[in-house]
Structures are given as C-alpha cells and as structure tokens.
Amino acid sequence: MRMTMLSFRTDDGLASEAGVWADRLGVDRSELLRTALRVHLRRLASELDASTWERAPLDEGEEALGAVAEWGAAEDWSDWESADRDENHAAR
C-alpha cells in the first residue's frame, strides 16, 4: 500500500489528548490519527449510502432475498448435540 504524508495543525490540548489515547491503546500517534480518519471517512460514506437507499430503495426481487434470509434453519437440530453426549456418557 502506498502511503502519503498528511500534515495539519491542531491546538495543543487536542494533540495532547491524542498522545494520551495513543499511549493507552499501545499505538503510535500516527496510527491513532490514521484510524480516526479512516473511521470518520467511513461514517461520512455511510451517510451518502443512506441517502442513496432513500433515493433508490430495494425493488421486489431484492426484498425477496431479505425474506429468504429471515427463514432461518428449516429444522432445529440443536438437541442432537445433547443426545450424542447422552449416548456417549451412557456407553461408558
């Protein structure tokens, strides 16, 4: 990955707070600021995603996939695990 140097000015209090958090998290200040920038940019992009969804909601076919995802398992097989354990215990 190619890296580009960014430089900006901030007040002393904010710079000090960034240093404290970097020390707490065990990362250097540059890593803390890279992560903060990445998270903030993703949040901004998600706001654009929300407006895109409002302008172009899912069509019927796309909504049908959501209904399929809600079906879940056709049968509840969770009791098989305890039955297997009971059989193994009884055999001993």
Query: Is the predicted pLDDT of residue 55 greater than 90, yes or no?
Result: no
Q: Using an 8 Å Cβ cutoff, are 32 and 23 in contact?
A: no
Query: What are the residue ranges spanned by the domains of the chain?
Result: 9-57
Q: How far is Cα 3 from Cα 12, in angstroms, rounded to an integer? A: 26
Query: What pTM value is reported for the model?
Result: 0.55
State pLDDT tens for residues 21-54: 999 999 999 999 999 999 999 999 988 887 888 8
- Give first-to-last CA distance, the chain, whole Å: 58
